[in-house]
Amino acid sequence: MKNKTRHYKSLVLLLLGINILGCNNSPSLISQNQQNWQNVYPYGQANFNQDTGEVELISTGNWFYLTKEKYSDFVLELEVKMPDVKEYSNSGIIFRANTRPSDKFDGHYAYGYQAEIDPSKRKWSGGLYEQGTARQWLHPIHPERSAPDDDFKQNLSPEWTEAKANAYKHLEWNHYKISAIGPEIKIWVNDVLTTHVIDTKSSEGLIGIQHHGSWQFKQNGDTSNTVLFRNIRIEEK
């Protein structure tokens, strides 16, 4: 009887251990350690502000600050705040990205899916763009710069509604959530589902945050066009 009791207790402890290990997928905060990140471009600056927990991006050209680790299936959440400037300002979040050598500069560049951060009058924040490829805009459809191929299987929320267009709040902290599980991709902006597509082009890659470039910074070092990110968390599935 004692042997059976010990065996039962051992089995319970084993099952509890398996359960605990299986549930150890809590989101990882990756925005407070610069060791998680890499710059494959010859330009772009990222400052990790330890007082605010913010990642401050500024660049002379279109630039993605990338993770060192590749991710496959995940849910990514972060907050982003765009600057109050008169010059062009744009950003994004690249995911399942890869890099290749550039024929325009000494370095590499990133290509892959991109969740758009668009403070312009177009209001396409939360749309899905494919950076560095011929496909370009996957959702919404651009009249001249959209070329989805056979890997783009289905758009489950094709209409660009007023709710989607107005989900982004300029000059405020905006919460982005990206879910990439298998071929199913979803993007939320401030809890509004803006993109829901099925696409099989890419299943794994890097994650990155974007600065689209500042002419003022290139000309005279003016950093007013700095883009801020914080609370970047990823949960692998």
Q: Are 94 and 202 in contact (CB under 8 A)?
A: no
H or E segment to which residue 15 belongs: helix 2-22
What percentage of the chain exceeds 70 in pLDDT? 90
The per-residue pLDDT for range 98-156, each reduced to its tens digit, is 999 999 999 999 999 999 999 999 999 999 999 999 999 999 999 999 999 999 999 99
Is 66 among the domain residues? Answer: yes
Residue type for 141, please?
Answer: I
CATH number of the domain within which 224 lies: 2.60.120.560
Is 110 among the domain residues? Answer: yes
The per-residue pLDDT for range 25-44, each reduced to its tens digit, is 789 999 989 999 999 999 99
Whether 9 shows a pLDDT value over 90: the answer reads no
- Would you give the end-to-end CA distance of the chain in angstroms? 42
Is 22 among the domain residues? Answer: no
Nearest alpha-carbon partner for 152 in 173, 170, 129: 129
The per-residue pLDDT for range 74-88, each reduced to its tens digit, is 999 999 999 999 999
Whether 229 shows a pLDDT value over 80: the answer reads yes
The per-residue pLDDT for range 161-179, each reduced to its tens digit, is 999 999 999 999 999 999 9
Q: Are 74 and 52 in contact (CB under 8 A)?
A: no
Whether 219 shows a pLDDT value over 90: the answer reads yes
Q: Which domain holds residue 191?
A: 28-236
Q: Which residues contact 129 (CB under 8 A, 6 or more apart)?
A: 92, 113, 114, 116, 136, 137, 138
Q: Are 39 and 206 in contact (CB under 8 A)?
A: no
Residue 72 DSSP label: S
Is 17 among the domain residues? Answer: no
Is 3 among the domain residues? Answer: no
Is 13 among the domain residues? Answer: no
Q: What angle do CA 30, 90, 167 make, to 5 degrees?
A: 80
Total domains in the fold of the chain: 1
Whether 72 shows a pLDDT value over 70: the answer reads yes
Is 6 among the domain residues? Answer: no
Q: What is the pLDDT of residue 24?
A: 54
CA distances from 115 to 52, 130, 159 (A): 24, 9, 17
Is 186 among the domain residues? Answer: yes
Mean pLDDT, to the nearest integer, of 61-69?
Answer: 98
